[in-house]
Structure formats: C-alpha cells, structure tokens
Structure 1
Amino acid sequence: MKSNIILLSIALTFSAVIQAGPDDFKKEIQVGSDRQFGSIKDKVMTFVDNVKVEQGSLLIEADKLEVIASAGKGKEVFIASGQPATYSQMLDGEKPIRASANEIRYDVANGTLVLTGNAELSQSGSMVQGAVIKYNLEKQELEAQSDGKKTERVTTVFSPEGKE
C-alpha cells in the first residue's frame, strides 16, 4: 500500500505538466549519426557515433542506436545506448523533461520509453532515479524499479513549487 501511495505521488508530480508538444508525435522521425549500416531486408539499421534522434521537440542522443522496423511503419523500436544516452522533450507549458540511462528504448507504436541502467528522469526540479524507469508518454504514467539489491533503491526528490 505504501509503495502505491509513493508511485501515485511520483506520477502526480510528473504528470501535472507532462504532455508532449501537440504535434511532436505527428512529425517524422529524423536520425543522424557519423556512421550507419544495416539490413534493408531485415529492416534493422544501426547508427553509430554522435547519434541524434529528433521528432518535433523530442531529442534522443546516444553513442549507438539500433532501429528495428520489422513490425512495420509507425511501429519502429529505437534502442539507444551510451554513457549515458539522453532524452529530452519540451512539453506543453514550456516545461522540459529530461532523462538519461545506459539504454533508452523508445517504442513508437506504444509511445513508451524504458530507461535501463543508471536511469534518471527529471522535470521542474523533481527527479526519479532507479535501475529501470518505464514511462508512457501518452498516458503520463511512470514506474521506477530498483535492481533488487538493498544498496540500490529507487530515489525520488520532490522540489518545492517554484523551485527549478
């Protein structure tokens, strides 16, 4: 019960202003990198070095990106990795959301981000850290998990209103 209350508090903190720019998910996705290679037949592309993924105000930066498009157009899965890989997006109300992790998985069809390994998500001065953070961009739902070790726990920092 206590964990449900904490999860609800986290979701309310981040969802108060979390909405993607109205046109972000209607825009095309652009990927740039220093190198790319892949299989057109298998519909898998790999981008390496100085990788940037842009969709409206959504920006993912990484050392490496694998794009799996075998499920069809609009159902691509982007798997970004780096030390760390980062995500940012300008939301309604001009409130940026930022995230970083060793791996960021962006599922276009489901509108979800899964941050894995040293995951951190922050907005308006509030922050959540954990081993894994799952975030649904459309529903504005957040779930954070530890790695199961007693020394590694999910940490949430709430900032007072008005403090960034």
Structure 2
Amino acid sequence: MKTNLFAALLILFSASTLAAKPDHQLPISINADNTQASIRDNTAVYVDNVEVRQGSLLIKADRLEINASAGKGQEIFIFSGTPVTYSQLLDGERPVTAQANEIRYDIASRTLTLTTDAELTQSGSLVRGDIIRYNLERQELTAGSEQNRRVTTIFTPETKENP
C-alpha cells in the first residue's frame, strides 16, 4: 500500500519539472514594509507585506528572517504568516502552489519545509499535512502529520477537451 502511494506521489510531482531558466540562478528580490539587519551577525528581518521573488518563484509572508551566517549560497529563509504562500511555474508552465503558517527555504539544498496547516498543489492535485518537505530541484516531497491526524492526498484526473 505504501509503495502504491509513493508511486502515485512520484508520478504526480515528477514529469520533468525544471524551470525554463533555472530560477535558483537568478537574483533574489525582497520587498517589505520594514527591514532590520545585523551586518556583523549576517542576519536580517523583514516585516509586513513581505514578497520574495526569484524568477517565477514568489513567496508572500507577514515576516521573513534570514540567517546568512553560513556564507553565500547557504542562506536559510524562514517565512511566517497566516498563511505564507508560495508559487512557482515549472517546465511547461505548470504552476506549483503551497501554503503553511511557516515555510523554511534552504537555499543550498533548494528545499522548502512547510509546517502547520501545510498544503501543496500541482496539476490540480493536493497534498495536505502538518509538515511537507519539498525539494524544488528534484520535485520530490515527503509529508507527515501528528496527533492522530493523517496526510491527505487528492488526485484530480486530467480531463480531455472536446474538439
């Protein structure tokens, strides 16, 4: 049973989904109403109406904390809000969207970790749980839930248009 679910999830979130020009090679743009940074500690906090763009990647949040103490290319972005939203266009203009109360973006591993009321949607199908880890480069995810709750996956069949 677990093998069937894994295979279904792999099919759902695979399909050669790399961005046209890799988003991770483009500059990261951050806009917010307020910013506070510590050059010495390599940290920054952005508050209110936070928007982060990197190519087609867009994350919106109430607050963003960045820890860059590990060096360039190793930054950790921690977004919080109710909810934080993520969207990105993948190969073939297929959108992926997600939301959670917290999203952690690890630049080095290109991984999003969504926690608390997490859900991710691609091609009309949905995965919902307490925590979802999503690798942007490999388009792989793991999902889990706590306290007797379960992970929910909803597959939406593709429909053919009539000529």
| Equivalent residue number for residue 101 of structure 1 | 100
| Equivalent residue number for residue 5 of structure 2 | 6
The amino acid that maps onto 2:145 is: S
The amino acid that maps onto 1:162 is: T
Which stretch shifts more, 5-14 or 48-57?
A: 5-14
CA contact (8 A) 1:17 1:95 kept: no
| Equivalent residue number for residue 130 of structure 2 | 131
Aligned alpha-carbon RMSD (Å): 1.3
CA contact (8 A) 1:7 1:143 kept: no
| Equivalent residue number for residue 29 of structure 1 | 28
1:25: Cα distance to partner?
1.0
1:13: Cα distance to partner?
0.6
CA contact (8 A) 1:52 1:62 kept: yes
| Equivalent residue number for residue 15 of structure 1 | 14
Q: Which segments of 5 or more consecutive residues in structure 1 lack a partner in the other structure?
A: none
CA contact (8 A) 1:96 1:123 kept: yes
CA contact (8 A) 1:21 1:57 kept: no
Q: How does 1:20-99 map to 2 (within 5 A)?
A: 20-99=19-98
How many matched pairs? 160
Question: What whole-Å deviation, never above 9, does each CA across 1:59-90 have from its counterpart, x for those lacking one?
Answer: 00000000110011111111000000010001
TM-score normalised by the chain length of structure 1: 0.93
Structure 2 CA distance for aligned equivalents of residues 4 and 157 of structure 1:
17
Give 2:150's match in structure 1, choosing from 127, 150, 153.
153
1:109: Cα distance to partner?
0.6
Identity %: 54
The amino acid that maps onto 1:57 is: S
1:32: Cα distance to partner?
0.6
Structure 1 CA distance for aligned equivalents of residues 135 and 4 of structure 2:
19
Equivalent position SS for 2:92: coil
The amino acid that maps onto 1:144 is: A
1:21: Cα distance to partner?
3.3
Structure 2 CA distance for aligned equivalents of residues 97 and 137 of structure 1:
10
1:18: Cα distance to partner?
2.9
1:8: Cα distance to partner?
2.5
Q: Which segments of 5 or more consecutive residues in structure 2 lack a partner in the other structure?
A: none
1:141: Cα distance to partner?
1.1
Structure 1 CA distance for aligned equivalents of residues 72 and 94 of structure 2:
30
